[in-house]
A and B are shown apart, each in its own frame.
Chain A
């Protein structure tokens, strides 16, 4: 018996990619980093707690809190661009 694969799909062409992305490695002991809230309840409290604990081994005045407007929507491109431009690393609140 031969069946049509119900999970089949096509990969979209990545037309503009010219090679592997080059990632700078962050120095978590001193580089500017972003703590980014997914805007779920208490995400800010969680991330502020992480920042406070990081104060034990690094300066915290270059750890900035950022957030997207809605937990249900993707982060806007401008926010992603800002994070990429200004910071060497980011910590995301991934769960509820």
Chain B
């Protein structure tokens, strides 16, 4: 074992791929899928893409060790990333280390939240990040491995091991990897990262502690009003962690739905306002014991006999992604967390 200031190398012997994976699995480094080998040469290639990024990292919960670039790069290599993805991974690490994200809570909770990464800006195309058809699903290396690299980093540097410091009751498939791009090209509205204060030419990663996407099917409505009624109805659930105004949550509108909603004159603030009101859950739908718990211990405010799911309409994050078809998606969050965005800086 050799240590320097910010990394440690280990001589593991002459292992074939199967033996390497057994070795890594025995040390708890794996999410269950096979891992690439984080050789010094591979890690060095990744580090070349972030040469100018010298900003310090905060300690990472729950182990509270301070991550280093080589260790993050080792996880990105193991995840199967290309070197050019590494600046996105680093930005994602910085996003979840923002205190507003509440990383410790999101990792240690019994809730199934994963780290959702939404990539906006020009790098989406350069890195071939899927923003269109099946963008939440399989098939694109960038989506799969960038999301996975963050999860492995939280596992191995953060120490969020399932059954130990990751206390998820059931977890979710999103905890393997959950990363997609905004479909800016088919969005009728201003890009999401621009609405969050970045320049259009910036590439930005935004992290949410989120559940997997919940599909919203509306093939019948031909008006924006109708589609938004279906979206609000899907969001309005009594079992959500965001019940009681603990938002934020994300609504990913498919391009066809977006086109119809925009055609009918809806702006993003209009949509936020409508969903804020129409997705609120009437108290009659919430069991009395749960209502009492929220009222006493969680400081949730009931307004007009309704539980609101976010603190304000601005807590509803709206963007366009996906391909052809009349589907959209609702992505609830852990609740006690914030969306955290970081500009991706490369070389």
Q: Mark B119-140, 1 if CB is under 8 A from A, else 0.
A: 0000000000000000000000
Chain A nearest CB: distance from B186 CB in Å?
Answer: 35
B299 near A69 (CB under 8 angstroms)? yes
Chain B nearest CB: distance from A9 CB in Å?
Answer: 3
- Is A3 on the interface with B (CB-CB < 8 A)? yes
Contact residues of A: prevailing secondary structure: loop
Tell which of A24-32, A35-43, A78-86 binds the partner: A35-43
> Which of B109, B156, B289 is within 8 Å of A72, CB to CB?
B109
B335 near A72 (CB under 8 angstroms)? yes
A3 near B9 (CB under 8 angstroms)? yes
Chain A nearest CB: distance from B49 CB in Å?
Answer: 16
Q: How far, in whole Å, are A96 and B67 apart by their CA atoms in the complex?
A: 31
From residue 1 to 52 of chain A, which have CB atoms closer than 8 A to chain B? 1-12, 37, 39-44
Residue numbers in B under 8 Å from A62 (CB-CB): none
B65 near A96 (CB under 8 angstroms)? no
From residue 48 to 81 of chain A, which have CB atoms closer than 8 A to chain B? 67, 69-74
Residue numbers in A under 8 Å from B39 (CB-CB): 1-4
Q: When A12-B59, A74-B105 are in contact, do A2 and B157 touch as well, CB less than 8 Å?
A: no
Chain B nearest CB: distance from A74 CB in Å?
Answer: 7
A9 near B68 (CB under 8 angstroms)? yes
Residue numbers in A under 8 Å from B12 (CB-CB): 1-3
Q: How far, in whole Å, are A44 and B297 apart by their CA atoms in the complex?
A: 9
Tell which of B71-79, B171-179, B269-277, B313-321 binds the partner: B71-79
Q: How far, in whole Å, are A1 and B37 apart by their CA atoms in the complex?
A: 9
- Is B48 on the interface with A (CB-CB < 8 A)? no
User: In the complex, how many residue pairs between chain A and chain B have their CB atoms under 8 Å apart?
Assistant: 120
> Which of B7, B246, B335 is within 8 Å of A8, CB to CB?
B7
Q: When A10-B6, A10-B65 are in contact, do A4 and B43 touch as well, CB less than 8 Å?
A: yes
Q: Which residue of chain A has the shortest Cβ distance to B61 in the bound complex?
A: A74
Interface residue tally of chain B, by bracket?
A: 35 or more
> Which of A4, A11, A41, A42 is within 8 Å of B71, CB to CB?
A4
B297 near A10 (CB under 8 angstroms)? no
Q: Which residue of chain A has the shortest Cβ distance to B113 in the bound complex?
A: A72
Q: How far, in whole Å, are A43 and B297 apart by their CA atoms in the complex?
A: 9
- Is B81 on the interface with A (CB-CB < 8 A)? no
Q: When A12-B64, A41-B290 are in contact, do A6 and B105 touch as well, CB less than 8 Å?
A: no
B299 near A5 (CB under 8 angstroms)? no
- Is B8 on the interface with A (CB-CB < 8 A)? yes
Q: How far, in whole Å, are A72 and B100 apart by their CA atoms in the complex?
A: 12
B67 near A6 (CB under 8 angstroms)? no
Q: How far, in whole Å, are A1 and B11 apart by their CA atoms in the complex?
A: 6
Residue numbers in B under 8 Å from A7 (CB-CB): 27, 29, 71, 156-157, 159
A67 near B7 (CB under 8 angstroms)? no
Q: How far, in whole Å, are A96 and B167 apart by their CA atoms in the complex?
A: 11
Most buried by A among B27, B109, B153, B297: B297
A9 near B67 (CB under 8 angstroms)? yes
Give A contacts to B, CB under 8 Å: 1-12, 37, 39-44, 67, 69-74, 96
Q: 24 A-B residue contacts at CB 8 Å?
A: A1-B14, A3-B9, A3-B40, A4-B8, A4-B10, A4-B43, A4-B73, A6-B29, A8-B7, A8-B65, A8-B70, A9-B63, A9-B66, A9-B157, A11-B65, A12-B64, A41-B290, A44-B296, A69-B298, A71-B297, A72-B102, A72-B105, A72-B337, A96-B110
Those 10 A-B pairs whose CB atoms lie nearest each other, nearest first: A9-B65, A72-B336, A6-B74, A4-B74, A39-B297, A10-B66, A5-B8, A7-B156, A8-B71, A6-B156
